[in-house]
Amino acid sequence: MAKQFAYDSLPIVQTKAGKLRGYQSEGTYIFKGIKYAKAERFQKPVDPDPWEGVIETASYGFVSPMLTQDNPKGEIIVPHRYWPQNEHCQNLNIWTQTLETEAHKPVLVWIHGGGFTMGSSIEQKAYNGENMSKYGDVVVVSVNHRLNILGYFDLSPYGEKYADSANAGQEDLIAALRWIKDNIAAFGGDPENVTIFGQSGGGMKVSGLMQMPAADGLFHKGIIMSGVAGDLMSYSTGDSQPIVQALLKQLGLTEDEVEKLETIPYYELAQAYNTVSPALAMQGLYVGCMPKPNAFYKGEGPAYGFRDHACKIPLIVGTVFGEFAMKPLPFNKEEISEADLKKALQERFHEHTDALTEEFAIAYPGKSLADLLQLDTIFRCPAKEFIKSFAEAGGRVYSYLFALEFPYQHKRTAWHCADIPYVFHNAEMVPVCNIPDVSDRLEEQIFSAVISFAKTGDPNHPGIPQWPETTADDEATMIFDEVCDLRHNFDEKLLQMYRDASPKIDLADLMAEMADDIQH
């Protein structure tokens, strides 16, 4: 059936820098690729040039260049959308139901993941903001910004103009939030009610912005999905000169010629960086590609202490059951015999098996014991720590765990990114996320919680059990699953036992694995 579409009859939108025109589809006004800032390489973004006349903003803008190319293999679980890359990628997209300047609709700003090195505002099909805007009656914004060495590479010893090149990607995000504050009313949004939400690296960007004074007042709530980095961020401290020197040498440049890094083609810069950085990273030295604490960025809350302003930002923080358990179980968990399952568990957990399985059955009643082999601790442990320390610092925080099983590879547990389609009300765009009698209801439960939170700072709504905020002693975790359930400190003991039964994870290995897995 023909969809509703409008273009010529739509009002022109006046922004600070100039007039623009989007289009309307099925009632939603859509604007793509709006330039919110411009920047020289490694330097802070500044306001975009104003323009005369009306610009058509109906095409997505460039996304940040990456260091390597994806090899898409897991499209069935996380369908991607790639796009041409250019470092002049400071642009954003808007979906809204109204262009009334007095409408004051809640604004949700999506900050994409892919660590700090990959991804884009449209990298996953499920990032499309149309349904969220339509079903939630909110203004949805998604943002591109500089990544990897373009966004996170400390050149501050080499000149004042590089003062925050270590966090240039975050500076872009701040510029985007400032653009939103100045302009979003013209798109029906409320500049005084802005929720930033992100998953994986996107979640880390949310917590990072909480610790950047320049972002204060530009957003009011945050959602951190599978995105507490924990110890990973400790790699981003230390002297930045070794990597800069190695890079210059590789390119045949001297330290006096640092400015040439601003103009050489990105392909060559990236090639040189990819050549020299692994050896330094192995030594635990700073190699960039994630935010670095400095005068502009106060470091992550759990390690450096939450800033007073950060504690005033209500948060939702959570993870999914399986996260990086990307390899399917080597058996069909619905058919395996009890004896074989026990054998498989013992191979992994040895003498801890009995106690662990007993505790797992308490924490996750109804789940197959086989799922213990897929249980995530990489994200869940730092997320718990974050939630606890934020609550202790006086912050308001709601905890969740997304534990749905999927009709793929015999009830596979939720993978990293599996919850995103439900948050965006986009399950229909990801066939594997559609489960008869389950997914429609769960999508409504998750989506409505996000929208309620964006509206009022409280995720509660009639469709879910009462969801209290977490206190220092009581982690009240909403389990999003076939049946939603609120549990208290439910996996504290399980995770302790799991850690005791597990070899220490090497963070360098993990990072390499992440780079590989994130493509799935």
User: Is 200 a catalytic site residue?
Assistant: yes
Whichever of 40 and 70 has its CB closer to a second copy, that residue is: 70
| Shortest reach from residue 411's CB to a second copy, in Å | 9
3 state DSSP class of 158: helix
Strand order in the sheet with 397-402: 5-6, 23-25, 28-35, 91-96, 139-143, 105-111, 189-199, 221-225, 315-320, 397-402, 476-480, 485-488
| Shortest reach from residue 365's CB to a second copy, in Å | 25
Backbone angles phi, psi at 14, to 5 degrees: -95, 115
Whichever of 26 and 358 has its CB closer to a second copy, that residue is: 26
| Shortest reach from residue 128's CB to a second copy, in Å | 12
Whichever of 146 and 520 has its CB closer to a second copy, that residue is: 520
User: What are residue 34's DSSP bridge partners?
Assistant: 92
Of 411, 407, 319, 322, whose CA–CA distance to 372 is shortest? Answer: 322
How far from chain centre, in Å, is Cα 513? 18
d(CA 110, CA 83): 17
Query: Which string of b and e fits 44-67 if b means at least 16 CB within 10 Å?
Result: bbeebeeeeeebebeebbbbbbbb
Whichever of 85 and 245 has its CB closer to a second copy, that residue is: 85
| Shortest reach from residue 123's CB to a second copy, in Å | 11
Whichever of 58 and 510 has its CB closer to a second copy, that residue is: 58
Whichever of 12 and 508 has its CB closer to a second copy, that residue is: 12
**Catalytic site residue from 200, 236, 399, 439:** 200
| Shortest reach from residue 99's CB to a second copy, in Å | 17
413, 405 Cβ separation under 8 angstroms: yes
d(CA 439, CA 416): 18
- Which stretches of the chain bind a second copy, using CB under 8 A? 1-8, 23, 25-26, 32, 56, 58-60, 62, 69-76, 81-86, 267, 407-410, 427-428, 431-432, 434-440
| Shortest reach from residue 5's CB to a second copy, in Å | 4
| Shortest reach from residue 445's CB to a second copy, in Å | 14
Listed in sequence order, the residues at least 6 apart from 405 whose beta carbon sits closer than 8 Å to its beta carbon are 411, 412, 413, 414, 482
Backbone angles phi, psi at 76, to 5 degrees: -70, -25
- Using the 8-state DSSP alphabet, how is residue 491 labeled? T
Backbone angles phi, psi at 291, to 5 degrees: -60, 150
d(CA 115, CA 64): 13
Determine whether 500 is exposed, middle or buried from the number of CB atoms within 10 Å of its CB (0-12, 13-18, 19+): exposed
| Shortest reach from residue 299's CB to a second copy, in Å | 35
Whichever of 9 and 283 has its CB closer to a second copy, that residue is: 9
Three state DSSP letters for 171-203 = HHHHHHHHHHHHHHHHHCEEEEEEEEEEECHHH
**C-alpha separations of 280 from 59, 131, 237, 294 in Å:** 40, 44, 13, 21
User: What are residue 110's DSSP bridge partners?
Assistant: 142, 197
| Shortest reach from residue 32's CB to a second copy, in Å | 7
Whichever of 159 and 431 has its CB closer to a second copy, that residue is: 431
Which pairs from 463-471 meet CB under 8 Å and 24+ separation?
467/398, 469/391, 469/396, 469/397, 469/398, 470/387, 470/388, 470/391, 470/397, 470/398, 470/399, 471/391
Listed in sequence order, the residues at least 6 apart from 98 whose beta carbon sits closer than 8 Å to its beta carbon are 29, 105, 188
Whichever of 11 and 365 has its CB closer to a second copy, that residue is: 11
Whichever of 439 and 470 has its CB closer to a second copy, that residue is: 439
DSSP string, 321-369: SSBT--SPPSS-TTT--HHHHHHHHHHHHGGGHHHHHHHHHHHSTTS-G
Place of tokens 């104003």: 50
Place of tokens 């500089």: 146
| Shortest reach from residue 78's CB to a second copy, in Å | 10
For the annotated catalytic residues, the residue numbers are: 200
